Amino acid sequence: MTDLFLAIDGGSQSTKASVVDQFGTVVAAAAVPLRPYELGPDGEAVHPDDDLWDTLVAATREVLVRLVAAGGDPAAIVAVGLCGIRFCRSLIGVDGRLVEPVLSWMDARVSRPLADVPDGTSLVASAGGYLAVRLTGERRDSAASYQGMWPIDPRTRQWSQDPDEVTRTGIALDLLPELVDPGGLLGHVTPEAAGPTGIPVGLPVYATGNDKAVEALGSGLVEPGAVLLSLGTYIASMTVGERHVAGDDERFWINAAAVPGRYLYESVGIRRGMWTVTWLQQLVSAAAPDATDVAAVQQWLEEGARNVPPGCGGLMTLPDWLAPGHAPYRRGVILGLEGSHQAAHLHRSVLEGILMTMRGHTAAMEAALGTTPGRLVLSGGGSRSALMCQIAADVFGRTVERSAVADAAGLGAAICAAVGNGTYPTFGSAVRGMVRPGEIIEPGPAAASYAEILPAYASINAFTDPLFQRLAT
């Protein structure tokens, strides 16, 4: 019998659940949107109530229904792979429930030391760590889920024993979960979790990593050289390696890869990447022929933007709808508007702005690492757009490969479960057995136009930064 894996992918916009077989085929899939963040003063942004668990429950129940409808048998599921949103912070009580709502990665407090620990808190963990507690009852989490304001030793992938790290983060070691590597056992599904989720009691739950690391794994990045451009809510380029490169180089940063002992090098990113595309779609939807159908609005914009020439008739977009951390004064810019511009020009300009920005960030990361530009893989929601993939090939001037699956993080979570379960002996063999090649897109005639546009685009911040700095004072 073919092994099936239940992959749970907690993302910034939705919780996804998929059933994946040992050959990488997605047998059934479901997604449940997250509720909007609850925003507060001073940059607070939390997931309301118990939204991460509630959407996991809804997504797993729905995917099991769809599995049966597709002729599958839930009894063939041999393991669960669990992936959570990175940089979130969960305060958990002795009963395994939240003490307060989960802080999102956008919450300013996650970049600061934990100042006050509320009464009743027995565990401080990532979003995935909280969900692991709910599923298994164990205080255990993936070592690849922690980076930033956590007292983690990146070389040992265990909690640091340096007292200065506890002081820096404000988190006492006795409040932290036990850490295991990706593919390590988190625990088994309890009867209390099986009831609401529908997941069979006793199924093993395996660690994966943070959502970006697992997405890279599901896109086939296990060896150095290739670059993944993740076109999601947060957009970044990533590549993998075996060196923990110390230093304060602002062109990239390091976190744990989803393969134990390897590192994920990540470029500077765009904090509201594909979110900005959605924002624009909503803004101009009233002009669409069928404004009530989101898919129809998207198709209308895509078709119109295909007929817009590169550069959009002098229109350029800086996609800083949420300012980057190194330049908190920045704002989004649409520059060069005139009366001839239509919604399709705006749509293409946003796509071009995202990709020209990321070409610069990717080149900077590769230069800092001393790597030669290689294969470029596109994943995430933006990679479903044929237009965006073609613009990416043209802007980067490189052959690109579109990920063969819509949810690469889900496939990455299934790979971790397959290794943990012993279906595959290594991550390399699991990737070879489960990741399929995607569509290849070559640069077209527009590549020459973008090569001329890029120098002008790269200079815009030099003019807009002083303005925004003055406006911020």
Q: Does 262 share its domain with 355? A: yes
255 contacts: CB under 8 Å, gap ≥ 6: 86, 144, 147, 154, 210, 212, 213, 263, 264, 266
pLDDT at 246: 65
Is 438 within the bounds of a domain? no
Range of the domain at 267: 220-402+443-473
Q: Does 31 share its domain with 160? A: yes
Last residue of a domain, one of 168, 196, 214: 214
pLDDT at 162: 94
At 388, the pLDDT band (50, 70, 90 cuts) reads very high
Is 272 within the bounds of a domain? yes
Query: Is this model's pTM higher than 0.85 or not?
Result: yes
Q: Does 112 share its domain with 30? A: yes
pLDDT digits (tens, 9 = 90+) for 300-354: 999 999 999 999 999 999 999 989 888 999 999 999 999 999 999 999 999 999 9
Q: What is the mean pLDDT of residues 182-196?
A: 98
Q: Does 302 share its domain with 165? A: no
Is 281 within the bounds of a domain? yes
Is 141 within the bounds of a domain? yes
At 211, the pLDDT band (50, 70, 90 cuts) reads confident
Is 420 within the bounds of a domain? no
User: CATH number of the domain that 371 lies in?
Assistant: 3.30.420.40
Quote the mean pLDDT of the chain. Answer: 94
Q: What is the mean pLDDT of residues 61-77?
A: 96
Pairwise CA distance, residues 411 & 212, whole Å: 12
Q: Does 340 share its domain with 260? A: yes
Compute the C-alpha angle 330/334/340, nearest 5°: 170
At 247, the pLDDT band (50, 70, 90 cuts) reads low
Q: Is 460 helix (H, G, I), strand (E, B) or coil?
A: helix
In the chain, the number of structural domains is 2
At 371, the pLDDT band (50, 70, 90 cuts) reads confident
Q: What is the mean pLDDT of residues 383-397?
A: 97
284 contacts: CB under 8 Å, gap ≥ 6: 297, 301, 343, 346, 347
pLDDT digits (tens, 9 = 90+) for 416-440: 999 999 999 999 999 999 999 999 9
Q: What is the mean pLDDT of residues 36-54?
A: 94
Give 410 or 291, the one with higher predicted confidence.
410
Is 95 within the bounds of a domain? yes
